[in-house]
Structure 1
Amino acid sequence: MPATIHNNVVSGPEEVLIPGHLSYGQFIYEKFKQAENKIALISAETGESVTYKYLLQCSVNLAEALRSLGLKKGDVVALSSENRFEFIVASHAVIFCGATLSTLNVTYTPGELTHILQIIKPKFIFSSPIIAQNLYDCSKDLAFVKNIILFGEYDVVPSIFYNELVKKHVDIDDFMLADVNGAEDAVAVMCSSGTTGLPKAVMLTHVNFLTLSAHMKYYLAASQGNKKQAVKTALSLIPWFHAYGFITTMAVMCMHIEVVFLIRFDEQQFLETIQKYKVNMTTIVPPLAVFLAKNPLVTKYDLSSLTEIWCGAAPLSSDIQKMVCQRIGIDFIKQGYGLTEVTMACCVDLTSGEKIGSCGTPAPGMKIKVIDIETGKLLPAKEKGELWIKSPLRMKGYMGDKAASDALIDSEGYVRTGDIGYYDEDGFFYVVDRLKELIKYKGFQVAPAELEALLLQHPGVAECGVVGKPDEAAGELPTAFVVRLPGSDVTETDIVQYVAGKVSPAKHLRGGVIFVNDIPKNASGKILRRELKTLLPNNTARSKL
């Protein structure tokens, strides 16, 4: 993508602005209707497939059923599930009704669920059986939750069955979508970790989603311009409850690309799926790139159909990029950079490897500046500072937290990312560190402050500090430095198990516990995490993917 640099601000191509009155639901409806009987989704686990027409029919059926249950514009509906056919139908039905969809991580603990439910206040909750009990326990006393709608056929908790709601046939041509104000109405609330570690509810509008869909089409067209093989089949592995997985999958489907999806990562199934379905495109995170680069199983499969691999959620090293390309024969892995607060993609590298290690140039309509974290000065090329982004994809705000929304955005409309990076003389960006100190474990954000607060509740812990330990496969592993309380004989195992019992899997202390005599702090009492990192063992950890 062409970039321009003026007064130390890097700008992407001109944006084709989306009219503010348009509806993302109407966009989906029309795109799915156009595709008719083309295959839309295939389950890699079962081999079952469904067409775009089938998904649209189920979506309008469910939308009418939800309306009959009282769903209206402005209501919020939560959805927590692994990747499955019903996930797409439920999402579309909610959007067709003009309501707001909120996708929730299936690994949330009761504390995390209770926190986010109190913020979003959903009228209905769609759930798969794997998280139904947890959701029921957390919502049964919340007056605003009217029903849990359960996927599957087993009566796990008191609920309404999804299968019953989609039975009544509705004529697609007669179906009327809710009117929305695309620029103002939230189509989705995606969860993003804040500095406290508890999820923040990021409100994204219809225009945000429409603009991102236009960008995705632009990226793919630009990337495929010099290639003979068009993308016909994509593999979706990133969980759809995650903004990265959900937004990219929706955009790809609206391009009428056949999507094969996986419920979870299994080494053999992942490779077999690419080979069996001749997958052309997939989105990954760095740990998957490490797997493709180093696992001996990879060479036993034919992955030559792959022409597009897009990597996001965390920085990908140039060495791993090169290893993957050499091993499977792809020309280049496209690395991107983004955050939920600006509807994901801010930069995408659409070169053929000339800027390896870069996450690319700003997306259409994006302006990015680099600010010195000490002086606030606007920095020129090659100087590191905090990235600030101005974009038509900026969120509407954090639901229920106006103060946090206001603190994130400056007077010119730039979003403070908390990420440290720089740009080169051509406007290509490189992300090198995180100012906000969040640990990235396999693409998930882990807040040290949350784990520290939890550790301090342990009777054997006097002081503590948490940092990320570099790990080749996972990115970073949460690691705790602990000062024992006098007289305490608490062990590493005690603390690791204690934390594991209270937080979701991404936050487990996989980097272990290091006992120290004191925790370094500055004059105001803030933990000096950079000093703690110097105490980490020199050898880089290697975890199992």
Structure 2
Amino acid sequence: MPVRSPYPDVEIPDVSLFDFLFDGFGDRAGAPALIDGSSGTTITFAELDGMVRRIAAALAERGIGAGDVVGLFAPNTPHYAAMFHGVLRANAIVTSVNSLYTPGELAHQLADSGAKLLVTISAFLDRATAAAAEVGLPADAVIVLDGAEGHPSLRDLLATTAEPPAQTVSGADTAVLPYSSGTTGRAKGVVLTHRNLVANLLQIEQMGNVTSETKIMAVLPFFHIYGMTVMMNQGLHCRSTVVTMPRFDLPEFLRIISEYKIDRVYIAPPVAVALAKHPIVDQYDLSCIDVIFSGAAPLDAELGQAVAKRLGCTVLQGYGMTELSPVSHCMPDNRPDLHLNSCGFAIPNVVSKLVDPETGQEVGVGERGELWVKGPNVMVGYLNNPEATAITLDADGYLHTGDVATVDADGVFTIVDRVKELIKYKGYQVPPAELEALLLTHDKIADAAVIGVRDGEGEEVPKAFVVRQESGADLTADDVMAYVAARIAPHKKVRVVEFIDQIPKSASGKILRKDLRAREPQAT
């Protein structure tokens, strides 16, 4: 039977995300909203509000308006938040792009989303201009935040004297198009509305003690829905101070936490490994940390407990997907007693059920079933992809997550397995089908299949099973890994290769991944 959240529903206003977040800052107007942890650059709430409005006005002058899409291809800085909300204030839509993407991957997202502008930084300019050229965007459609010859800059946008356009968007309008592989296949545009994002902020507000006194560490990328909602936008909603890092570097990460007295740190499991085991951690005063919250991939309970013990803080985790804006379940701040292997309770307004993926029948307490989720945070669908939408989102409004879970009598959910093919490497999505398609372009590879396997540290990594062409007897595992690495973002690289005589497939030609998982590891 469906399991409702044990928390009371929250009322969700029909407003734009801008109106929800920027509706007056009161005595927090002069307080720091965002701090660049590396440089110390600080933007107050009032300054951010002014920047957002000027960016919106400048974009409107450039013809950007309702329904237009702007790509945001940049690392975490305070200016990312200003640009993000400037686009929304211009009644337009943000498509957030993975900062590790190659020109080809970036071009695919720009073309698929129909982006009219691309915002980036000078360090990414080579990739940005190559992708822009591939999809026909001119140089003046590539905005370089920190400036580059031949391109508009953030300073140019902020120099406008125009007024921002009238707001025309409502809660039902699309706000962002992050890209996700869902349960399988190549990355797809996830249509999230203003209401989806507002709802998720109000839902997670009930689960944690995030206030105007909280200092949030934002090292996980804002382009990822976890960073976007749980760090950047939750910080604005709760009038907290968000301290940004452009990329993870352990000594710098620890220095920033210590120097800025960060009390709430959001991580993915690989960071937990460093916090639990690396000797350098003891060189920093981290007593300021109150809560470490892990998401994006399952956190091992023993590892989480080791972090909690070493740092003297509470460690929690939750569950979500891009398609859920992203949070659907989490451990609340006031329940550190919950077993850390669980992902806690369904958040307010969420109804869940567990369904046997073989029979389609609902299962009960203690039984394994695919997790289905319904609530106001569930996406509208996949952009221009009704087939994928129909597979993932049913007629009753339940999103089929592709993850297998159990629920106990108290309504505590635990993720125990995966139906979907997706690999999660350090919290990033790696769709096997994309790697398989790439491998098959190699002239010495006859067939290939990819699954996720655990490495020595318990991290899920992509493993390729490869059938050589008759002419490919000299093809090595290093050759295969180098071929993929040269053509794809670093987090998608194949890290293990096994050569086999035949890829197991069903009568319909579907790869039998369970058979590959059941194989004993073979030498390469």
Aligned counterpart, 1:427: 411
Offset of residue 487 of structure 1: 4.0
Alignment of 1:402-441 (within 5 A): 402-441=386-425
Aligned counterpart, 1:227: none
Task: Work out which of the residue numbers 534, 538, 544 in structure 1 matches 2:518.
Answer: 534
TM-score scaled by structure 2?
Answer: 0.94
1:423-463 per-residue CA deviation (whole Å, 9 max, x = no partner) reads 11111111122211111100011111111121122122122
Offset of residue 474 of structure 1: 6.9
The alignment partner of 2:23 has SS state of: helix
Aligned counterpart, 1:26: 19
Aligned counterpart, 1:250: 233
Alignment of 1:447-526 (within 5 A): 447-471=431-455, 473=457, 475-488=459-472, 489-510=474-495, 512-526=496-510
Task: Work out which of the residue numbers 149, 154, 168 in structure 2 matches 1:179.
Answer: 168
Offset of residue 521 of structure 1: 2.4
Contact 2:329 2:347 in 1 (8 A): yes
Distance 1:12 1:139, change over 3 A: farther
Offset of residue 530 of structure 1: 2.2
> 1:275 and 2:258 equivalent?
yes
CA distance in 2, matches of 1:311, 1:85: 22
Aligned counterpart, 1:76: 69
CA distance in 1, matches of 2:235, 2:408: 31
> 1:261 and 2:244 equivalent?
yes
> 1:343 and 2:338 equivalent?
no
Aligned counterpart, 1:208: 196
The alignment partner of 1:219 has SS state of: coil
Contact 1:386 1:416 in 2 (8 A): yes
CA distance in 1, matches of 2:239, 2:74: 24
CA distance in 1, matches of 2:38, 2:499: 44
Aligned counterpart, 1:167: 159
Alignment of 1:68-467 (within 5 A): 68-140=61-133, 142=135, 147-155=141-149, 158-168=150-160, 177-182=166-171, 184-194=172-182, 197-221=185-209, 231-248=213-230, 249-330=232-313, 332-350=314-332, 351-467=335-451
Offset of residue 144 of structure 1: 6.9
Aligned counterpart, 1:3: none
CA distance in 2, matches of 1:81, 1:198: 22
The alignment partner of 2:207 has SS state of: helix
Task: Work out which of the residue numbers 8, 12, 23 in structure 2 matches 1:14.
Answer: 8
Distance 1:163 1:265, change over 3 A: same
Contact 2:354 2:369 in 1 (8 A): yes
Offset of residue 215 of structure 1: 2.1
The two structures, once aligned, show a CA RMSD in angstroms of 2.1
1:272-302 per-residue CA deviation (whole Å, 9 max, x = no partner) reads 1111111100110011111111111112222
Contact 1:23 1:179 in 2 (8 A): no
CA distance in 1, matches of 2:457, 2:30: 40
CA distance in 1, matches of 2:134, 2:284: 51
Contact 1:286 1:474 in 2 (8 A): no
1:518-542 per-residue CA deviation (whole Å, 9 max, x = no partner) reads 3222333322222222335499xxx
Offset of residue 160 of structure 1: 1.4
Contact 1:112 1:199 in 2 (8 A): no
Contact 1:285 1:442 in 2 (8 A): yes
* Paired residue total: 518
The alignment partner of 1:265 has SS state of: coil
CA distance in 2, matches of 1:9, 1:232: 32
Contact 1:115 1:198 in 2 (8 A): no
Q: Percent identity?
A: 36
CA distance in 1, matches of 2:447, 2:243: 48
CA distance in 2, matches of 1:66, 1:206: 19
CA distance in 2, matches of 1:468, 1:70: 45
The alignment partner of 1:336 has SS state of: strand
The alignment partner of 1:386 has SS state of: strand
Higher mean alpha-carbon deviation, 493-502 vs 403-412, is at 403-412
Contact 1:113 1:135 in 2 (8 A): yes
Give the residue type in structure 2 aligned to 1:38.
Answer: A
The alignment partner of 2:273 has SS state of: helix
The alignment partner of 1:30 has SS state of: coil
CA distance in 2, matches of 1:421, 1:246: 26
CA distance in 2, matches of 1:31, 1:404: 40
Contact 1:33 1:56 in 2 (8 A): no
Structure 2: which 5+ runs fail to align? none
Contact 2:484 2:494 in 1 (8 A): yes
1:186-211 per-residue CA deviation (whole Å, 9 max, x = no partner) reads 11111112456422111111111111
Contact 2:182 2:323 in 1 (8 A): no
CA distance in 2, matches of 1:448, 1:198: 9
> 1:67 and 2:60 equivalent?
yes
The alignment partner of 2:178 has SS state of: strand
Distance 1:195 1:346, change over 3 A: closer
1:297-347 per-residue CA deviation (whole Å, 9 max, x = no partner) reads 1122221111111111011111111111111111x3111001111211000
TM-score scaled by structure 1?
Answer: 0.90
Higher mean alpha-carbon deviation, 189-198 vs 300-309, is at 189-198
Contact 2:5 2:349 in 1 (8 A): yes
Offset of residue 242 of structure 1: 0.9
Give the residue type in structure 2 aligned to 1:202.
Answer: V
Contact 1:95 1:187 in 2 (8 A): yes
